Amino acid sequence: MYRVFVVDDEPFIIEGLYDIIDWSAFGLEIVGSAENGQDALEALMGSAADILLTDISMPIMNGLTLIGEARKFRPDLKVIILSGYNDFDYIKSGLKLGVENYLLKPINIDELQETLANTIDKLNTTRPDRLFSDYDIRILRDNILYRWLTGRIAPNELLERTDMLDIQLDAPYLVTAVLRTESQFEPSYEAAQRLAMQDSSMLPFVDIDGDLVIVFLLEDRAEGKIKAMSQLENMQKRLAPSPMRISLGSVQEMGEGAPLSYSHAKKAQEYFLLLDEPVILDYDLLSEKNSIENTAAEPLDWPAYSKLIKAKELDQLQEMINAEFERYQSLEGVTPAYIQSMAIELMIRFKMELKEIKQADQPELYKAGFVQIMQAETIEGLAAVVKEAAALTVDSLMRDVKSPIIQLLLNYVHENYAQALSLKSLSQQYNIHPVYLGHLFQKETGETFTEYINKYRIGKAKEMLKETQLKVQEIALKVGYWETGYFYKQFKKYVGISPTDYKGLL
């Protein structure tokens, strides 16, 4: 199993990476994370990581410096850059350092998974003892065909491997189909293999997602596609009543067109989330209806969700989730990936909101939900997963052991952090002795009141530095610091650099 280390100054990104990728399915495990380059470098010195996922713009030490320093003691370290900067100089600098890919935020999950698969291939190739140790000829064949359809194999290597495995790619055209079934996968694969033995123009294999893929080699565009459709319909009938979702990509010329046909088949497969299930979902028909065009992103109204979570209003929260999914589904040109990304964002935000309120992480509450989101086949299924996450979040708060007075105090701090706050004034408000309130606060949160309020205010200041054009002095006032000098001192204490330097990195 290869080891991954993640670096990003946005906790939301780190949380998301932990949750949205099934690392074990790739033979990977995350062995650590950090929010700046310096902490990451120190951790890497004591961690045998194989792959580094890092942001570019970070406080204390940026990503490019981190890569250069880490390579001094780990020259074989594979690096994937995740950045919000679509800047040629950054990209050029990253490529000079020999990175595997430069991915722009927001992260495209499919592209990240492709990059991870490609990186693992390179690691396997450079470590012969781990290359195909458990593979038989079928797995080797699947691997070669998958790399061909994803454009990750050089022409000379493809020719060498196809000759060795007796795979003929000599037709002028091709079309790719993707087949998914909830059960009885082996009968589907065996049926495809039997057809392929009778018809050498069919190349079935299993891709990295576990989908059955069939490449049809065509002599004629139109007639070849009709024949492929007929063979797929026959497979569907033979395997009935086992449900099978079949999608067909576009017909392409042999060679550079192969990856496009495959990606179109995978894209069409996603539309079973939105549409009724015909026998075969054809990418070309979807494209003609303009169903595959994406729509402009509409941000979530997270403050409204946060308010309902803190109020523990589960019924209203679930009504809001239902309305959200209905609204997204009605948007013109919306894609399945778009709705799925919204569901993932809601899950991550539930998890982070609970962590902020309770000052304790509970990832086990949401682990199954992330898997269910990736496997959901209907809008109703997606909504059900998110509503369950909402119920788990509220239930956790309902069972919270914090004393009512401390919960009231935390809620007050979160809503009034910009005001002058002290234990003395709050103790008068809640009619409790300030010394006792201070001891109770530290017992419940693990921090003194001063530490807690400073960390909370600096966290809000970081958000404003990233998201607004306000001056540092204005931000200091907005988060509750009346003296800019004291704000600078606290910011440097908790972030490691001054707010001015931090803003310069963004």
* 457 shares its domain with 436: yes
* 307 shares its domain with 417: no
* 147 shares its domain with 280: yes
* 376 shares its domain with 484: no
**Domain-embedded: residue 490:** yes
Full pLDDT tens readout for the chain, 506 residues? 789 999 998 888 888 888 888 888 788 989 899 999 999 999 998 777 899 999 988 888 888 899 989 988 888 899 998 887 665 566 666 666 778 888 887 788 888 888 898 888 888 766 544 444 334 467 778 888 998 999 888 888 888 888 878 888 989 999 999 998 766 556 777 778 888 888 889 999 988 878 899 999 999 999 999 999 988 888 887 776 666 788 999 999 998 899 999 999 998 887 777 765 556 888 888 766 544 544 445 677 888 998 899 888 899 999 999 998 888 777 766 777 778 878 888 888 898 888 887 766 777 788 888 878 877 878 888 899 999 999 999 888 877 656 778 888 888 999 999 999 988 888 888 888 888 888 888 888 778 999 999 999 999 999 899 888 899 999 999 999 999 999 999 999 888 888 988 887 76
| pLDDT at 91 (0 to 100) | 63
Q: pTM (2 decimals)?
A: 0.45
Domain span at residue 479? 404-505
Q: Which of 54, 119, 109, 110 is nearest to 83 (CA)?
A: 54
CATH number, position 171: 3.30.70.870
**Domain-embedded: residue 297:** no
**Domain-embedded: residue 31:** yes
Q: Choose the final residue of a domain: 371, 398, 425.
A: 398
* 115 shares its domain with 162: no
Cα separations in angstroms, 78 against 197, 277, 323: 41, 41, 43
* 75 shares its domain with 215: no
CB 165 within 8 A of CB 239: no
Contacts of 308 by beta carbon, 8 Å cutoff, 6+ apart: 316, 317, 320
Residue spans of beta strands (DSSP E) within 254-327: 280-282
* 13 shares its domain with 119: yes
Count of domains forming the chain? 4
CB 459 within 8 A of CB 22: no
Q: Choose the final residue of a domain: 130, 153, 176.
A: 130
| pLDDT at 100 (0 to 100) | 84
* 153 shares its domain with 69: no
* 153 shares its domain with 284: yes
Q: Choose the final residue of a domain: 398, 423, 442.
A: 398
**Domain-embedded: residue 293:** no
Cα separations in angstroms, 225 against 145, 252, 262, 282, 284: 20, 11, 14, 11, 11
Spatial distance between the Cα atoms of 331 and 274, rounded to a whole number of angstroms:
12
CATH number, position 481: 1.10.10.60
Contacts of 336 by beta carbon, 8 Å cutoff, 6+ apart: 270, 271, 273, 274
* 83 shares its domain with 211: no
| pLDDT at 289 (0 to 100) | 54
